[in-house]
Amino acid sequence: MKNVSILMLLVGVLSSSGALVAQVWIPTGTETRRPSALQFDSGASSYRGDYYGFVSPNFTYNHGSKFGYSFSLPINILALDRDPVTEGSKPGKIRDIDYNSKADYFRVLNYISYGTYNQQVPGKITYSIYTGKVIDGYIGHGTIVNKYQSASRFDSYNPSVMADVNSDYAGVQYFSNSVSNFDVNAARVYIKPLAIGRKIYSMFGNGSGGMVYMMNIRGKVLDDAGRKSVEEEIDPDAKASETKTKEIRPINKDSRMEIAEEDPWYNRLTLGYTNAWDKSAPVQISYNTNGSPVTEVNLDNPKTKDVTKVSIEGYDLEYRLLNLPFLEFTPYFDFNRIKNLDNSTGTHYGAMMRLGTKDLNLIFKPELRQMTGNYAPIYFDSFYEIERFQSFPTGAPIRTKLEQLQNQSNTTVKGYYHTIYINFYHLGFEFALEDYGGKDKQRIFAAAYIPIGSSFKLSFFYTKKGYDGQGKAFQIDENAQGAAELSKSFGPLMLRLQNYRRYYLDSSEKTFQSTDELRVLVSGGISF
């Protein structure tokens, strides 16, 4: 099945009227607002050569525009166990790896969410909390935690946490990989010194501040989360004649386009401090006498004989030079270090640039990097749920990410990580490329959401790291993961073809391996 894989899971639901609603590959915490619905998925799946029946009832409800929750009960029921036959397997049995540990029962939670993560509104205090399936967990500029995947393994499910509080003067962001064990955590605190200084001056100074306001450049993009425009705040009846369905839209983490009417110059300078840590990062794996790793019963993890707390701290600075309706430019600077390793540091020079309006734009985020060889940018990334035990590129014997870095020299390494987004109304594309000019020093990410007509959708993501040469970027192997979906509505029902590439701990090989799961589903339900 390895040649089948690629790409991205589209969350699609069918309303009672038969209209297909879907989501783009967008940051977690903003994609969570599915329409309120009672629905089901049912069909068949293929996994490692065996065949299963699949059923998953789902309930989603939104309390207003800010608070919502979604639960489902995904069940894979064995239909045909092909050679090699698993001991104790029989038709009708629930797949063992799905519910063989306490943490696995969190699979019923899709999300519980309040507010919108990373939403900053001048003049207001905003806050949010999200727990559930994470497809793009991040903190700050994403140089330490970025594109974190809570569901990168078939045999382990970790609903993550993302929360924040934002104001004109300071704020905090928080991330955790799992509500069951809170192994990986990150917190970022930021301040806006110019805004704080201006507030102090206005309290004690005699100046009118007229020159301050003359320097204010305002954008005119309305907010995605449904807040009122300036005209509506002044005159609530000004747009009463306009009837428009509110659509829940993404806020791009690499653009501040959601900052609408007020964006004064003194509110644009941000200084941040981040501390991220794995409280029990494996250092060394326990091995049997035959050289294979020991596995923990019902925990789906290799057994470790040595663990430690890995801690990474970082300092960041950004200033939004431009925030116009059609143009945005925000340069930034990050300096990070891995505290567990001697002289393990990395410097990131980047900028967030947008050209175009909300519905039609190109966002470009170039980032140059200079670091020591024992530093890992984006230490907590899409692969970390596996890399805690088996670093990329994969190999034998398996080595933890920390153990691998401990054996690296601290010579200077230079490279880049560039990201580009193209948003054309309801079409979305994202592409990222990382390269340091050496063997196994590349990373790629590609994603797209493509609606064709009113009832046909294609959505995918694909990511790979640790390959040698850009010619191998799309060669599907153990270092790649992703998901894809094709969907087509037929009246009140929708046909969905899905493919996932994730990892599992092979109990016989005692190592993590990637494989594909292919699903053919019929979905339907009612919205309310």
Residue 72: per-residue pLDDT: 94
Weakest mean pLDDT among 81-85, 269-273, 367-371, 402-406: 81-85
Lowest mean pLDDT among 84-98, 229-243, 296-310, 448-462: 229-243
Instruction: Look at 395 and 332; give whichever has higher pLDDT.
Output: 332
Per mean pLDDT, which range of 53-67, 176-190, 229-243, 399-413 is the poorest? 229-243
Segment 272-301, tens digit of pLDDT: 999 999 999 998 888 777 767 777 766 678
What phi and psi values does residue 261 have, to the nearest 5 degrees? Answer: -90, -30
Q: Is the pLDDT of residue 211 over 70?
A: no
Flag whether 234 is in a domain: no
**According to the model, what pLDDT value does residue 15 have?**
28
Q: Is the pLDDT of residue 127 over 80?
A: yes
The pLDDT value recorded for residue 261 is 57
Question: Residue 459 and residue 485: Cα distance in Å, rounded?
Answer: 5
Identify whether 31 is part of a domain. no
Helix (H) or strand (E) holding 44: strand 37-47
For residues 142-162, average pLDDT: 91
Structure token pair of residue 380? 């907590």
Give the tens place of pLDDT for each residue, 30-59: 344 567 899 999 999 999 999 999 999 999
350 forms beta bridges with 332, 367
d(CA 123, CA 324): 18
Q: What is the mean pLDDT of residues 109-117?
A: 90
Rounded average pLDDT over 321-341? 93
Q: In which band, very low, low, confident or very high, does the pLDDT at 89 lie, cut at 50, 70 and 90?
A: confident
Overall average pLDDT of the 213-242 stretch: 39
Residue 5 above 50 pLDDT? no
Classify residue 26: in a domain, yes or no.
no
Q: Which tops the pLDDT comparison, 241 or 223?
A: 241
State which residues form the domain around 344. 37-203+253-527
pLDDT of 491: 86
Residue 395 banded pLDDT, cuts 50, 70, 90: low
How confident is the model over 384-400, as a mean pLDDT?
83
Bigger pLDDT: 233 vs 313: 313
* pLDDT higher than threshold 80 for residue 508: no
Name the domain count of the chain: 1
Tell me the mean pLDDT in the region 322-336. Answer: 92
Q: Which pLDDT value is given to residue 148?
A: 93
Q: What is the pLDDT of residue 511?
A: 79
pLDDT of residue 299: 63
For residue 126, is it within any domain?
Answer: yes
Q: Which helix (H) or strand (E) holds 402?
A: helix 401-406
Q: Is the pLDDT of residue 183 over 90?
A: yes
Give the pLDDT of residue 169: 96
Give the pLDDT score at 264.
86
pLDDT-wise least confident of 15-24, 180-189, 331-340, 381-390: 15-24
Stronger pLDDT, 315 or 389, i.e. the higher one: 315
Contacts 24+ apart (CB under 8 A), 445-451: 445/147, 445/382, 445/419, 447/7, 447/8, 447/25, 448/8, 448/25, 449/8, 449/10, 449/22, 449/23, 449/24, 449/25, 451/22, 451/426, 451/427
pLDDT > 70? residue 28: no
| pLDDT confidence band for 222 (50 / 70 / 90) | very low
Could you tell me the pLDDT band of residue 308, with boundaries at 50, 70 and 90?
A: very high
Percent of the chain residues topping a pLDDT of 70: 81
Give the residue, 235 or 292, on which the prediction is more confident: 292
**What pLDDT, on a 0 to 100 scale, did the predictor assign at position 185?**
97
Q: Which residues is 524 bridged to in the sheet?
A: 40
Residue 234 confidence (pLDDT): 46
**Residue 228 domain-assigned (yes or no):** no
Query: Residue 343 phi/psi, 5° resolution?
Result: 55, 40
pLDDT for residue 100: 86
Given this model, what pLDDT does residue 516 score? Answer: 94
- pLDDT confidence bin for 435, thresholds 50/70/90: very high
pLDDT at residue 10 is higher than 50: no
In a domain, 284, yes or no: yes
CA–CA gap between residue 175 and residue 275 (Å, rounded) = 11
- 10 Å Cβ neighbour count for 231? 12
Between 141 and 230, whose confidence is greater?
A: 141
Give mean pLDDT, residues 80-93.
Answer: 85
C-alpha 157/C-alpha 102 separation (Å) is 10
Classify residue 23: in a domain, yes or no: no
- The pLDDT score that the predictor gives to residue 507 is 67
Mean pLDDT of 129-142: 92
The pLDDT, as a whole number, for residue 257 is: 65
Q: Is 244 contained in some domain?
A: no
Of 8 and 137, which is predicted with more confidence?
A: 137
